[in-house]
Structure 1
Amino acid sequence: MNIADEQIRRGRKYEQVLNGARIVFMRDGYEGASVDDIAREAGVSKATLYSYFPDKRLLFMEVAKTECQRQADEAVELIDLTLPPEQVLTAAARRITQFIMSDFGMRVFRICVAESDRFPELGHQFYHSGPLLVRQRLADYLREAVARGELVIDDIELAADQFAELCKADIHNRLIFGMADCCQPRDIERTIRGAVEMFMARYGAGRG
């Protein structure tokens, strides 16, 4: 347990505070979110809020970490890890693109970038609760597929990072910069199909 975890108290109204904070952070951003608004949305007093989270930064990171954990857990539950790589990677790519395109995914990315100068640890902590978590879950599957002889990979972590980046191609930047034509279902399927095909061309056991 790190210092931030030790500062957070989990009790009867913990989830209530967290849910209220999530609504306000996603609506107003990190800087625009006031403790008064969060307490009001959560239906608790400021004293109660502070008894759970001593400062706003800790509350924001707990919101981000909880949401990322939830999405990662859902992805694992929905994917049969014994299936062939093409099927698992397609399902994983669909979950990754859904997260990238979600209101939460876009807003939390923008918040971390906007606050990077004042609170550089925000981005660092979000990476460990979000992208790094995805990387670890994907790497676990890749190791199993390698052990079954379905993939040939020397650097598992690099391969996991490469696949996650392939899933962002032609989607992430267009979303972040507000391109009006992003993103139609056909664009998403094109990116997913391309990510899986390129990954298998590089790491599939039957390549070449």
Structure 2
Amino acid sequence: MNTNPATIRKGRKFEQVLEGARDIFLRDGFEGANVDDIARTAGVSKATLYSYFPDKRLLFIEVFRQECDRQTLAALDQIDLGAPVAEVLRQAAGHMVASFVNEFNQAVFRICVAESDRFPELGAAFYRSGPRRLHDELAGFLAGVDGQGEVAIPDAALAADQFIELCKADLYLRHLLRIDDSFAPEEIARVIDGAVATFMARYGVRT
């Protein structure tokens, strides 16, 4: 089948199809997801589904891309970019930690890893829509505040990666490996506070 994203056609029931697909992909994984089940859950015919998405991989990628868009726009809308750098980072860290332990995001990650040998384009699409986009947004912010009096960041791209990894401390792997399903507010605050404190200790300007 053609896997060019340009072959996606939107229509009146496009969002309906995505919602149904999201439920089935989470329940059955990528390979186990059945087109009949997706169409039934979405309340559309198979012909309608195929008219929008001629390839299941295109549908999977679009479901995740739209979820990333939703999470990113929600975070940017809630973060006060005019606040002091440490406070912006604290707000950003809150959204990142929530994203890292989000069941949908981690389910997509597991599916991409499991299918990466046969369908490497899934991993590439996941990277572009999720990790790379997060990196680019954060690196752009850090580059903009560098040298403005609060932080000195010679390599904004590296600093962005470092902060993202700090926000994965402890909770991310515990959730990914299904050791813990949820975390107390104080556990989340511990990771956020530690990430901001460590980052500012490295890049903060002392006056």
Q: Which moved more, 1:148-157 or 1:88-97?
A: 148-157
SS at match of 1:151: coil
Cα RMSD over matched residues?
A: 1.5
Mapped partners of 1:181, 1:108: distance in 2: 16
Report what 1:97 is aligned to: 97
Q: Structure 1: any 5+ residue segments left out of the alignment?
A: none
Mapped partners of 2:149, 2:66: distance in 1: 35
Deviation at 1:186, TM superposition (A): 1.8
Structural mapping, 1:121-200, within 5 Å: 121-180=121-180, 183-200=183-200
- 4+ runs deviating over 6 angstroms: none
Report what 2:117 is aligned to: 117
What TM-score, normalized to structure 2? Answer: 0.94
| 1:37-71 deviation digits (Å, cap 9, x = unpaired) | 11111111111101101110010000011101110
Mapped partners of 1:33, 1:132: distance in 2: 26
SS at match of 2:4: helix
Mapped partners of 1:18, 1:82: distance in 2: 35
- Alpha carbons 1:174, 1:182 under 8 Å: kept: no
Q: Structure 2: any 5+ residue segments left out of the alignment?
A: none
- Alpha carbons 2:175, 2:181 under 8 Å: kept: no
Report what 2:51 is aligned to: 51
Report what 2:85 is aligned to: 85
- Alpha carbons 1:20, 1:39 under 8 Å: kept: yes
What TM-score, normalized to structure 1? Answer: 0.93
Deviation at 1:148, TM superposition (A): 2.5
**Identity rate, percent:** 56
| 1:162-186 deviation digits (Å, cap 9, x = unpaired) | 1111100111111122214863322
| 1:98-154 deviation digits (Å, cap 9, x = unpaired) | 111111122111111111121122111101001111111112211222153321111
Question: In the comparison of the two structures, how many residue pairs are matched?
Answer: 205
Deviation at 1:17, TM superposition (A): 0.8
Mapped partners of 2:48, 2:182: distance in 1: 42
Mapped partners of 2:55, 2:181: distance in 1: 39
Report what 2:74 is aligned to: 74
Report what 1:30 is aligned to: 30
